[in-house]
Amino acid sequence: MVAELATLRDQIDEVDKALLNLLAKRLNLVAQVGEVKSQHGLPIYVPEREVSMLASRRKEAEQLGVPPDLIEDVLRRIMRESYTSENDKGFKTLKPEMGAVVIVGGHGKMGQLFSKLFKLSGYQVRVLEQHDWQQAETILSGAGLVVVSVPIHLTEQVIHRLPKLPEECILVDLASVKNPPLQAMLAVHNGPVLGLHPMFGPDVGSLAKQVIAYCDGRQPEAYQWLLEQLQVWGAKLQAISAVEHDKNMAFIQALRHFATFTYGLNLSQENVQLEQLLALSSPIYRLELAMIGRLFAQDAELYGDIIMSSEDNLALIKRYYTCFGNALSLLEKGDKAEFIAEFNQVKAWFGDYATHFLNESRTLLRQANDSRR
């Protein structure tokens, strides 16, 4: 019996080694694809190719009696690896004749990320940091693109401090709040203006599949190449007006971050034992705890700025507070029937999205479970 097991295990080892060899071969091919894409300025992430390739593999898996979800999981993981390594190949310069890229705040977290990407794409990059303003004219001379990447609360002030830029220079900001910086940029510069909000932090391995919201300011034809360059890096672009952007961010960022902040605050005041909570948490609870804890590993200044960026955020958070209080009164009254009625109302409001989110989170949770030791 035991000998039989050993033989089978040996065979599994052989198959795993064969898989490893195939994996090495695949990564090598992907590296060659990376070279070709880099030379021709093609995006590292092509959604249609990914969708059709996965669909074919799922069909073939079914014919072989392999669960289609298994091959999809494996391939997605391999592709993620490939996107990150495609970064190292460098990217095509889509606007070779352009003057230097100047990143104001270029030594900060996002500034460094974008500086690296522009350099990998063959652009000349200069940095204008907080102590460089005396040499600002020199640093900015002949600039083809100026990217403002300073803390949100300083963004408008810094934009107003910029000396007159060349007429054809593109002025861009990366702030997480869009309308006030966009208005400031339009006011100080007569040339092309664009607002960008990278919907990710500086720790992403690659821009593949990462969303960048963009708000047109002025002369969009002059910065189409820049939008294409972001796509070459793998980003998914989402056009939106600055006002709509800020309305949506109030929910995606301000309210969420504030709720997370207060939840963390409460955990600390209740002085719970995180170790025990973790030991008792299956993947879903672990993930929920991780989503809270990760906030506190980041920059308090940035989150403070995002939450406090507008009066509208405060009003929204106050409405949430009222809603929380109303929901609490259901508990005080012990009114389970009302709780269920409200629960079902919200369920109806979410509609098909509720099932969609259940399925999506199920996949995420399976992956979270895989990475646990």
Q: Residues in the site for ligand NAD, rule: CB under 6 A?
A: 104-105, 107-111, 128-130, 149-152, 154-155, 158, 174-176, 198, 201-202, 299, 302
Report which secondary-structure segment, H or E, holds 215: strand 211-218
In the complex, least distance from residue 117 CB atom to ligand NAD, rounded to whole angstroms: 14
Short-list 327, 328, 307, 316, CA closest to 258: 307
Residue 50 or 299: the one with the smaller Cβ distance to ligand NAD is 299
Q: Among all residues, whose Cβ is closest to ligand NAD?
A: 108
| Bridge partners of residue 101, in order along the sequence | 125, 145
Burial of 245 (0-12, 13-18, 19+ CB in 10 A): buried
Query: Quick one: DSSP state of residue 167?
Result: T
Residues 55-94 as b/e (b if ≥16 CB within 10 A, e otherwise) read eebbeebeeeeeeeeebbeebeeebeebbebbbebebbbb
Q: Reduce the DSSP state of residue 293 to 3 states and report it.
A: helix
Residue 71 or 174: the one with the smaller Cβ distance to ligand NAD is 174
Residue 67 or 205: the one with the smaller Cβ distance to ligand NAD is 205
Residue 133 or 339: the one with the smaller Cβ distance to ligand NAD is 133
In the complex, least distance from residue 150 CB atom to ligand NAD, rounded to whole angstroms: 4
In the complex, least distance from residue 37 CB atom to ligand NAD, rounded to whole angstroms: 26
Residue 61 or 235: the one with the smaller Cβ distance to ligand NAD is 235
CB atoms within 10 A of CB 197: 24
Residue 11 or 130: the one with the smaller Cβ distance to ligand NAD is 130
Query: Quick one: DSSP state of residue 166?
Result: P
In the complex, least distance from residue 130 CB atom to ligand NAD, rounded to whole angstroms: 4
Short-list 91, 53, 36, CA closest to 231: 91
Report which secondary-structure segment, H or E, holds 170: strand 170-173
In the complex, least distance from residue 169 CB atom to ligand NAD, rounded to whole angstroms: 17
- Backbone φ/ψ region at 7: left (φ over 0), alpha (ψ -120 to 50), beta: alpha
In the complex, least distance from residue 260 CB atom to ligand NAD, rounded to whole angstroms: 14
In the complex, least distance from residue 360 CB atom to ligand NAD, rounded to whole angstroms: 23
In the complex, least distance from residue 226 CB atom to ligand NAD, rounded to whole angstroms: 17
Residue 31 or 154: the one with the smaller Cβ distance to ligand NAD is 154
What is the amino acid identity at position 201?
A: G
Q: Reduce the DSSP state of residue 55 to 3 states and report it.
A: helix
Q: Transcribe 221-249 into DSSP letters.
A: GGGHHHHHHHHHTTPEEEE--HHHHHHHH
Residue 38 or 229: the one with the smaller Cβ distance to ligand NAD is 229
